[in-house]
Structure formats: structure tokens, C-alpha cells
Structure 1
Amino acid sequence: MAIGFVGCIGAIKENKCLLLTFFVLLLLVFLLETSLAILFFAYTDKIDRYAQQDLKKGLHLYGTPGNVGLTNAWSIIQTDFRCCGVSSYTDWFEVYNATRVPDSCCLEFSESCGLHAPGTWWKAPCYETVKVWLQENLLAVGVFGLCTALVQILGLTFAMTMYCQVVKADTYCA
């Protein structure tokens, strides 16, 4: 938002400094996004392992004071995606030190249903289920990314064009 504001003011006032600042900042953001995308695809396996480990650590914060957002997120994911745990429902056994799961893992939700037998819980692992869902929606994410890149490239092009025009006008006026 701040970068866009600099660009707007630079264009309205036809200020060389602001236009150049906008161009440089937008170019840095674009290059950073491109670098992160390349690194993401280059290190997908490492990111995959790290994400699973981190999610398993996060299970231990489920239901603790001050972690309402995390608790709600896990409950919503497990209910909506019909899954339980990161790699299996047994991930919850480490959290509760027992053979139980949160009630959001139950096939049919009822109070304390997570205390019943594993036959009443979702069997699908949440990590793989969400990963498959993301892969199925990869086209939408890709189109969004390409549209964002296109807008940034247009912004860079227009900013540099206007900067050159202002420099050219200053040269002829001087």
C-alpha cells in the first residue's frame, strides 16, 4: 500500500524522485517474490518435511490458553477436510498421552466422541489431504500469481516510461 501510494503521488506530481523510488521498490518486491518462488520449488521436499514437523509441534498447543486461533484452525481443518492429525490420528496420542483425539476428528460429532474407538474417527491424514486439495487448486493459485506478476510488470513499465518522459520534459524545458 505504501509503495502504491509513492507511485500515485509520483505520477500525479510528476516527481522524478518518487517515480524512481516507486520503480526501485516495486522491482525489489518483484525480484524477492520471484526468488522465493524459485526457492520454494527447488526445496519442496525440505519444506515438506519441515512443515510436517512444525505442524506436529503445533498439535501440542491445541486447546491451551492463548492459542484459540490455532485450536479453531485445527478444528475447522479436521472437520472440513474430514481428516485427523498431521500424518495420522495417532499424532494426537502424543498430545493427550492417551488413545484419544479431539472431537473434531469424529465421523459424527458429539460431546466427548474423541474418547471412543478409532472406528469413529477420520482415518485420512490432514497434511496429505490439504496438500492434495492445494494441488487440485493449483491452477487458480497459478493464475492469481501470474496476474499479480503482470500487474507488477505493468507498474514497472509505466513508472519507467513516465520517469523517462519527465526527464525528457525537464531537459527540453531547461
Structure 2
Amino acid sequence: MPFEIPDGNNRSEPAKIPFFILLLLILLLEILFMILFFTYQDQIDLYAQSDLKKGLQLFGTEGNIGLTNAWSIVQTDFRCCGVTNHTDWFHVFNATRVPDSCCLEYSDNCGLENPGTWWTAPCYERVKGWLQENLVALWIFALCTALTQILGLVFSMTIFCHAVKVETFYA
């Protein structure tokens, strides 16, 4: 379709700005969530640990293969056991046993053996420590995301101003 210049009889709708407002709202909500996260970090820690412990109850149950695999991978890769310690699993199995992924050396049913063959480090603290070690990468990602959003705001406002200018010129 060829480019057409509007004439006085064919007026287009006035330019609107909803895209800019949406981008600005998203950016402001992200900033608000970041402020709330740092303000309530201790409460979030407690809630996360509690929620993870509730999630342990679903380990190995039907339809939760993803959760089961995730716990197995985390415990194997981070060399840890349970959320706060290996006793978290005792409530899941109603016995003094842990999943085989908690074992220092993996073998079938090694979680039934004595506690001396299990990882003792808490997974929550290990993962949290890993995130703190990689904080620079997280901040770089956050800054790149913020820069992209700010550029989106600038470009959307530029397009809006250009549309208003064209509309005014041809009105």
C-alpha cells in the first residue's frame, strides 16, 4: 500500500500515548518491587524457607516429576540436603531417611544409610550464597534491562511527539 499524506478532509485520530504509559507503569512497578524486596528481605527469607519446606511434601509424588528432579539437581550440584538441614526430609518420609541425592556418594538407597553419608549443608543457604557470589552478573542483567526499558520510553515518546507534529502540520 503506498504512503498517503492525509488531507484536511481525511483527519486521523489524535495521537495517543498508551504505550509510553504502559512502559512507564511497568518500570515504576519494578522499582517499587525492588524497594519492597530490600525492605522486607528478612520476612521474604522466612516465607521462602517455609514455602520450600511445604514443597518438599510433593517430592516423589505423582505429577510432580519436575519438582522432584529440581530438588535432586539442586542437592547434587550444591552438595546440600534439605532446606535448612537434612532433618527437613524426616517430616516428608516420616522416617530418618533422605533422598539419594543427599548422599556424599550417590548409590541406590544410600539415603537409608547413616547420616554420616549425607550432605550436611542447608540448600537454602548454599543457593543464597551462590546468588550473592554472582551478584555482579545479576546487577548487570538488571541494569541492561532497565536501560532497555528507558530506551523504550524515550523512543515511544519520540514517536508520539513526531506523530503529534505530523498531525499538527497536516491539520
User: TM-score by structure 1 length?
Assistant: 0.88
CA distances 1:145-171 after superposition (whole Å, capped 9, x unpaired): 111001100110111012112101211
Deviates more, 1:146-155 or 1:22-31: 22-31
Deviates more, 1:26-35 or 1:99-108: 26-35
Residue in 2 that maps onto 1:67 = 64
Give the alignment partner of residue 165 of structure 1, picking from 158, 162, 167.
Answer: 162
Structure-to-structure mapping, 1:26-105, within 5 angstroms: 26-105=23-102
Q: Structure 1 CA distance, aligned partners of 2:29 and 2:125? A: 29
- Structure 2 gaps of 5+ residues are 1-13
SS class of match (1:16): coil
Higher fraction of helix: 1
Residue in 1 that maps onto 2:7 = none
Larger Rg belongs to: 2
Residue in 1 that maps onto 2:127 = 130
Give the RMSD, CA atoms, in angstroms. 1.1
Q: Structure 1 CA distance, aligned partners of 2:47 and 2:166? A: 54
Q: Structure 2 CA distance, aligned partners of 1:61 and 1:162? A: 51
> How far off its partner does 1:106 sit?
0.4
Q: Structure 2 CA distance, aligned partners of 1:25 and 1:104? A: 45
User: TM-score by structure 2 length?
Assistant: 0.90
> How far off its partner does 1:21 sit?
2.0
Residue in 2 that maps onto 1:114 = 111
- Structure 1 gaps of 5+ residues are 1-14
Residue in 2 that maps onto 1:16 = 15
Runs of 4+ with deviation above 6 angstroms: none
CA distances 1:15-46 after superposition (whole Å, capped 9, x unpaired): 933xx221111111111111111111110000
Give the alignment partner of residue 139 of structure 1, picking from 133, 136, 141.
Answer: 136
Amino acid at match of 1:16: A
Q: Structure 1 CA distance, aligned partners of 2:15 and 2:156? A: 10
**Number of equivalent positions:** 158
Q: Give identity over the alignment, percent.
A: 68
Q: Structure 1 CA distance, aligned partners of 2:53 and 2:63? A: 18
